[in-house]
Structure 1
């Protein structure tokens, strides 16, 4: 009787509704798993159709094509002799469920529906699916006729069941069930299930990977067992990037770590583990029937063994230390992989970026350069898919990228759009950075375009607006700034569409935006300016993290031009210069520093604070630097700017999601865009509390002064 089992899990770069591509990647993962001796293969959540189908889940076509792919999987010689666990939506009694379909040798063993749905942040699973809330209950599911012909089965088990093989017992979790306060693995473990599997579509956020690792380790620390975790990877067709991190753990130790960021479409990891180690662990630590209301799992018997009589010769996997990326590395890798997926799947020939020489646009440029580094590295390592993709992008089947700077020159065009309000410093910074990363760089002046637009306005109205420093009103000043910003957007799209055509090359370029998450919070950008783009790799990243990222790039890629970028104060350069120097800075315009904005953003979204709650928290956080009245002024200023400019988020460029305080109202931050900007009751509560604190402080000071006089 064998005791060692070899299990495989994977991360697949699936794409919503790409049924043929998804099928090919599933089959490749099964093939790799079998070549490594695995008898069980686990894949990511909803891998047949892709996790990001959204309202396409409502369409009967989506279900039909999923069953067609499942039929091909069942019939494929590749899937024979191994238990395959795949994900797809299924209608049962006219209710749609997010399911795992587990099959072996053309027979479906069990359809296991998801029991805990993710319905927070970017997740909207309750919109498309219902949870299976009948614990330990299994009923019959009538297979579609197309599958009955293949499997010879009319019905199969559907519900909360587990697989009982000859040598062990396997139970499924699906993504959010691991994160739940009542995770299903707890009761399964107490009933003798030895192998837990989790198929996930868990998207990347900065500093999130450690949470997954902690949950997987703790799941098997508490009650023993083997935990097999699979995850989606890549850009599924939306703002999210799924970062892989497939893993396998036993009794609280990670034994296998899959890649978190890579350009591999299929990443399979396996582990050989001794189930007797689980039994020994549980024999010492777990006593399931003490103070436990026992309700057994529904077991589906499977005449199949995961182990081998000769497995004594197989070495078991030993615990490893998980290798975490720093936040700076995550910014360098996650958005870069997301950009590569978007580029190769969009059919475009590269990227176009308005490069101002500031922190934000320089960060975007560095992410593109990091992408080029990853592409060259993948080609060097023999990744034929990446090589084929890059040859299609550059329309040259003989091309083989070797140098990131040379590749950057082919894929990336940067453009400094100067005006009479631009300084020589920003122009120099943009030019130097472009030279160091190798982008094709354009230097142009927008003054003629701006002058033309203003001349049209003057001909119609008979008036010409002036900047504030020249005697103009606030409205005139703002309008003149916006004209410059919007002209840059028009020129960005013009050059993105026609620049390659002008040089005799085919294709167009994707316009990249570079507005960070903190600016979006206050709406500190012009609607439909050059922050309007096709995609934005830094739209979910804070200014503080971007500065740290640039320091990382300066060291990692030897980009010395970034030193002057990081030293310069952030500025829009839309108002006239003063003696040739910048007189306008972002933080003075906003009345808040970027570090203050980052904290306010987290309080607003993550801590769910309104104006008064935020004030109550910040008077303690900022007590060493600001008085209560100064805190009140900043809080009120933020909420005024936030509510006045909230409408801008309805048109914001789709951005890489990296932070939970993202203000993206299209998918993530579901708040109104028309507010009563007076916030009368909210601000009145703040003012009342400030007055009360000032009176208490005054009384305290008077008491202290009296004591001094008495002495």
Structure 2
């Protein structure tokens, strides 16, 4: 005996405050779900407003406009005949909640507020919403008058309830609730809920998808049941990229999975499942049956007099359960190639820009940035050739082409929207100039090759005339402060030139679209963490696709891209010594990034992870690394490296307050904007922690350590 039901979940590319666009994408997902025979459709978290509205959520207009869009959705005849789970903010008793609204045939069944809010890392939900701290409690909610007119209802249930159809029971949880120790899905499954939905706004981080999938599969493996996971996908207006991967799982196995990265605005994932498999699976686990029979948690059932499964008397041999499949994962190198590229595409098409401008230095960071743009062009071409109408419309508008134009290769797009420039000085090498030119030729960007020595000398001459002093480089006898000033003026002038060229290159090329280019930054997460960049230099840009990616991962990406896109030139970037090329090159001296920083990029990644993810201060970081790095390094060497890292991190904190908005891809990102909230004026010596570190070093070396200044307590 079987009881089959077709279910639908989706990835939607929603945009913050794009009410009509969000509405239309929701409607399209419902149409697709119905066409495939689905009886339940689940959408992403806060899909009507877009998840990333941030402080706009504090505006009551959002609740008003959400109701206006919601009514336009559920009153449409094509949305009848399917159980809908739609997300939006709701004001109840003057309290703002993040809610799911479940409806059928134009009637609201109940409103389910989010119980546990995401409130760390990139998320500040408790700034905008209040959690529903009354599990299984249901209250009356009075619908707004204009909604009453449409639905014919005045009061609907509001709270933690479940939908009870004639043949099954459906419950809802939202995003963060899945990640909590006592996820609501556990209590729901013990109370007989067979189908559980999760509507999410979960962002991409490198290697993060595995954790999400493990939680879903382990939950359904322990408790049994059907789990529908929906997620937003795309850049909805900020640093995050929501990475889709909508999923349907049954009893710990995946039966359907959506794509993680794609330019499709609407992707619906459907599967036909057998509810009898759930019942058999659960009944076979005696310990689960004992817990279920004794649990005190009982959910209020919202009765709906319909059958969701295919009726037995209408047996159709063509309808069968969807077979299970392996979870699809991308490698970190593929994630870098796809995630930031899709983010860049959403950004350029939604800001009405005409393209991107990148200072291409010949180093690995700007090379990686260029290859991400090239990857974007490659993704767009593939979607266009597959007939994605939205992508075709967008790419024609951005490039200024006719309605019949279809790009055939990535260079067809990059030659029109991607602009690169090598800004050389007397300190630049022939090798970096050649690498930049060759890479530009391969990817098809519009390239400018210039020397800016006259500009640099003009500025330094102006300073000399004004002060009577002429700064000189350190290798020629100058002081450290002179050396830094001469390097910084080159870097800052490159930023000025970048914005000048970004504004005028479209005009130079005869582009009738009066919009300028967006300037791309190319500082990696390790350099941002260490502060190894000039404030307001060419790392200051409009957006930065690699600002949340480590140098180590970028090298892996370049190696991958060399084979993926058949570009051997990329291997030259991998083998080159990282250098800023801001100091003169002599027979005995070539500037090196790692020598300048006093630490390797691999060490920086470790420091960054321990500082942010494991929440280590100087002392606890030293103790961890003392165990990890000895005997390769002596205790004194470990102490010196930790102190050096925290010193430069502290004195450069002010730079992180003005970092270019970057694609968030790494947990140890130092982005000061909402993610890494630390003061930017602190004692860089960390004197107390330093003394405790010195004590441990002395103990390891069998020497007397420094005395700690401890006040006595009488």
- TM-score, normalized by length of structure 1? 0.97
1:318 matches 2:323: yes
**CA RMSD of superposed structures (Å):** 1.3
Contact 2:579 2:591 in 1 (8 A): yes
DSSP-derived class of the 1:9 partner: strand
1:696: how far off?
A: 7.2
Residue from 444, 452, 470 that aligns with 1:438: 444
1:450 matches 2:456: yes
Residue from 555, 566, 571 that aligns with 2:574: 566
Name the residue aligned to 2:47.
Answer: 47
1:664: how far off?
A: 0.2
DSSP-derived class of the 1:299 partner: strand
Residue from 459, 462, 475 that aligns with 2:481: 475
CA–CA distance in structure 2, aligned partners of residues 661 and 402 of structure 1: 39
Residues 225 and 291 (structure 1), Cα distance of their counterparts in 2 relative to 1, 3 Å cut: closer
Name the residue aligned to 1:303.
Answer: 305
Residues 335 and 311 (structure 1), Cα distance of their counterparts in 2 relative to 1, 3 Å cut: farther
CA–CA distance in structure 2, aligned partners of residues 84 and 312 of structure 1: 25
DSSP-derived class of the 1:695 partner: coil
1:528: how far off?
A: 0.3
CA deviations on 1:120-163 (whole Å, 9 max, x unpaired) are: 11010111111101111111000001100001000001000000
Q: Which runs of 4+ in 1 moved over 6 A?
A: none
1:684 matches 2:694: no
Name the residue aligned to 2:499.
Answer: 493
1:397: how far off?
A: 2.7
Contact 2:2 2:274 in 1 (8 A): no
Aligned counterparts, 1:337-348, within 5 A:
337-348=342-353
Contact 2:399 2:413 in 1 (8 A): no
CA–CA distance in structure 2, aligned partners of residues 195 and 630 of structure 1: 57
Name the residue aligned to 2:4.
Answer: 4
Residue from 615, 621, 628 that aligns with 1:621: 628
Mean alpha-carbon deviation: is it higher for 43-52 or for 399-408? Answer: 399-408
CA–CA distance in structure 2, aligned partners of residues 565 and 582 of structure 1: 20
1:2: how far off?
A: 7.7
CA deviations on 1:212-248 (whole Å, 9 max, x unpaired) are: 1111111111111000000000001000000100000
**Unpaired segments ≥5 residues, structure 1:** 699-711
Contact 1:387 1:400 in 2 (8 A): yes
Residues 251 and 564 (structure 1), Cα distance of their counterparts in 2 relative to 1, 3 Å cut: same
1:367 matches 2:367: no
CA–CA distance in structure 2, aligned partners of residues 372 and 82 of structure 1: 38
CA–CA distance in structure 1, aligned partners of residues 37 and 561 of structure 2: 41
CA–CA distance in structure 2, aligned partners of residues 304 and 337 of structure 1: 41
CA–CA distance in structure 2, aligned partners of residues 87 and 446 of structure 1: 54
Q: How many residues were matched structurally?
A: 697
1:556 matches 2:564: yes
CA deviations on 1:574-613 (whole Å, 9 max, x unpaired) are: 000113x861101000000000000010000001100011
Name the residue aligned to 1:271.
Answer: 271
DSSP-derived class of the 1:651 partner: coil
Aligned counterparts, 1:18-417, within 5 A:
18-285=18-285, 286-289=288-291, 292-309=294-311, 310-313=314-317, 314-398=319-403, 399-417=405-423
Name the residue aligned to 1:463.
Answer: 469
Contact 1:468 1:477 in 2 (8 A): yes
CA deviations on 1:506-542 (whole Å, 9 max, x unpaired) are: 3311100000000011100000000000000000000
CA–CA distance in structure 2, aligned partners of residues 183 and 129 of structure 1: 19
Contact 1:8 1:40 in 2 (8 A): yes
CA–CA distance in structure 2, aligned partners of residues 184 and 316 of structure 1: 27
CA deviations on 1:356-399 (whole Å, 9 max, x unpaired) are: 11110000000000000000000111100000000110122333
Contact 1:191 1:296 in 2 (8 A): yes
Name the residue aligned to 2:616.
Answer: 609
1:577 matches 2:562: no
Mean alpha-carbon deviation: is it higher for 206-215 or for 285-294? Answer: 285-294
1:211: how far off?
A: 1.1
- TM-score, normalized by length of structure 2? 0.96
Name the residue aligned to 1:707.
Answer: none
Name the residue aligned to 1:586.
Answer: 593
Name the residue aligned to 1:599.
Answer: 606
**Unpaired segments ≥5 residues, structure 2:** 706-714
Residue from 523, 526, 536 that aligns with 1:528: 536
CA deviations on 1:645-678 (whole Å, 9 max, x unpaired) are: 0000111000000011000011210111111122
1:634 matches 2:665: no
CA–CA distance in structure 2, aligned partners of residues 121 and 492 of structure 1: 32
Residues 672 and 638 (structure 1), Cα distance of their counterparts in 2 relative to 1, 3 Å cut: same
Residue from 507, 517, 522 that aligns with 1:509: 517
Name the residue aligned to 1:709.
Answer: none
Contact 2:2 2:276 in 1 (8 A): no
Contact 1:74 1:150 in 2 (8 A): no
1:75: how far off?
A: 1.2
CA–CA distance in structure 1, aligned partners of residues 171 and 660 of structure 2: 42
1:311: how far off?
A: 4.5
CA deviations on 1:75-131 (whole Å, 9 max, x unpaired) are: 112211111111000011111100001111110001000001111110101111111
CA–CA distance in structure 2, aligned partners of residues 597 and 289 of structure 1: 48
CA–CA distance in structure 2, aligned partners of residues 697 and 210 of structure 1: 48
CA–CA distance in structure 1, aligned partners of residues 315 and 341 of structure 2: 42
